[in-house]
Structure 1
């Protein structure tokens, strides 16, 4: 058995692949209890997942869950020897939220959704089930709508995020905006930085990096003017990819407070009601364009090669896989194996 000396950052699976891209117009969701069961069963060289990150969305966890339900949720994870980490606030209009650059009502609904998520996160901490993690947000707005008034919409999103930051601080929470090409104002790395700077709440509002999504930042999907790789780029030229990723990570790393390990084959994909975004591949997918252990280090270590210890846990993100794939134990062992390699190379011991 291989010795794995590092025990930080903690290794989490995500619950939301059981929900994202599922539903009436796709496959049935995989319920939370089954996601917990499969996560807890995974094992590589005696190493287990330390926890899971949650989507506060039915049928997993209702954003309107009551105190008794929160207590039972905490106990469910504690019984499985899994911590709860970051939680996703359902800030989108169909779930009761609203566009961060929308009408006054939309923006109030956005902040209200963040308030509910922060309250749940804070109570899970008080129950001892959530030792770390953030509340994940986005702009709940499309790039198409954003382009109607780029400057004005950036200002609106930033103002909404500042209001959400006021709420988060009241609960002792931080907010992380996940950079995906499907969210207006966040659809390129330059616009993402601009939005974080406009929000100007670095202690409370930061960036959630997902390797599958940020790869598309380098390619300029939805924002060709900000591409870091040339049109027609030859994926065999690893040096050029490394150069692009180093520029990207150096710019966004100072804002990064949450991190998703993932794989991408350089294409976009959507299923169910989810817009097209970075196509998550399985950890062992031969078409994946990322060297997962190496490229994760671009995010997890600073330019001097020192681990960013503010990232107390990292999470695997792989959405919109067929249920047949997700129900196989080997899928989760392969994912955990990739996570262990990342921690072996870029983690630390406490």
Structure 2
């Protein structure tokens, strides 16, 4: 077995909030997720860190310096580090990236707050690497009313946000998720990023979300797999993944390991998006370790090493699943396989 120590293996904490909040699925406390992440172990390997959504009640984007010092001490106390952050750019605190001038101003201001947090966590020594994640905070339906104009508006907002991020030494990654307008297909995503034209903005690939780009949800013309695709046809699936990753890999600066069963799922603003399946789900369509390689290696099979950590995003799993330690052991086992096959030593 290779003893690779990069990319570092992170768990995400925002799945304790996203899709949660009602009586049947209450928000899972940050401390609970931190403890379960630290407790996971597979053959002596453990998670190296966590990625954080900057939302109440976990880690507010308005956290004070004392709050961030306490956060750094707490995370370090579990022998973990902090990686990528999610900026809370959605209304009402934020606004649509293709909305009114006021909407877009709020969007950029939320990015500024997130980058300030990111910079301070780096200064505190708890965040050696990672990006700040954004999306368009806009629907595909709204975008489709005027694709050209709305793409330009999103790009303008992202450009302003990237310039703000640069002031804090941060890079932004646009999330490849089909529920966000201007990012809902692989071609739309590339058009948006090309229009932004900033060196400190890139793409966040999530193996579950980006998998739906193959199926053309919200953009049938951009479908890569045949309409009558047979899921037993692994060769065609591999070819489609190679097409997708060749197009988006050059932009990719943040990566989520995940599983998908070929269906959509979501709630609220995250409606009709990639279904995150457990690593052990028998209906999963991906070979996680092999298919991660399409993102982590170039067309010649060489490691890109464009990011120092990878993360597991387990959004919208039931609380019953998320509060079982075995869930996180199984996820860590899948992450370790990715690190063994596509990692390196430093």
**TM-score strictly above 0.5:** yes
Map of 2:338 onto structure 1: 342
Distance in 1 between residues matched to 2:22 and 2:42, nearest whole Å: 35
Aligned match for 1:214, one of 210, 215, 224: 210
* Residues 170, 220 of structure 1: alpha-carbon distance in 2 compared, 3 angstrom cutoff: same
SS at match of 1:93: coil
> How far off is 1:138 after superposition?
0.3
Q: In the alignment, does 2:134 pair up with 1:137?
A: yes
> How far off is 1:318 after superposition?
1.3
Distance in 1 between residues matched to 2:150 and 2:304, nearest whole Å: 32
Q: In the alignment, does 2:2 pair up with 1:13?
A: no
User: Could you list the per-position Cα deviations for residues 8-34 of structure 1 after superposition, in whole angstroms to 9, with x for gaps in the alignment?
Assistant: 000000001111110137510101000
What are the equivalent positions in structure 2 for 1:276-295 lying under 5 Å apart?
276-295=272-291
Where structure 1 has 5 or more consecutive residues not aligned to the other structure, the ranges are: none
> How far off is 1:232 after superposition?
2.1
Scaled by the length of structure 1, the TM-score of the pair is: 0.97
What are the equivalent positions in structure 2 for 1:1-350 lying under 5 Å apart?
3-24=1-22, 27-94=25-92, 96-201=93-198, 203-271=199-267, 274-350=270-346
Aligned pairs, number = 346
Runs of 4 or more above 3 Å deviation: 271-274
Distance in 2 between residues matched to 1:324 and 1:300, nearest whole Å: 32
> How far off is 1:274 after superposition?
3.2
Distance in 2 between residues matched to 1:126 and 1:75, nearest whole Å: 13
Distance in 2 between residues matched to 1:200 and 1:25, nearest whole Å: 44
Q: RMSD of the alignment, in Å?
A: 0.9
> How far off is 1:253 after superposition?
0.3
* Residues 290, 85 of structure 1: alpha-carbon distance in 2 compared, 3 angstrom cutoff: same
Where structure 2 has 5 or more consecutive residues not aligned to the other structure, the ranges are: none
SS at match of 2:209: helix
> How far off is 1:310 after superposition?
1.9
> How far off is 1:342 after superposition?
0.3
The answer to whether the 8 Å contact 2:115/2:132 transfers is yes
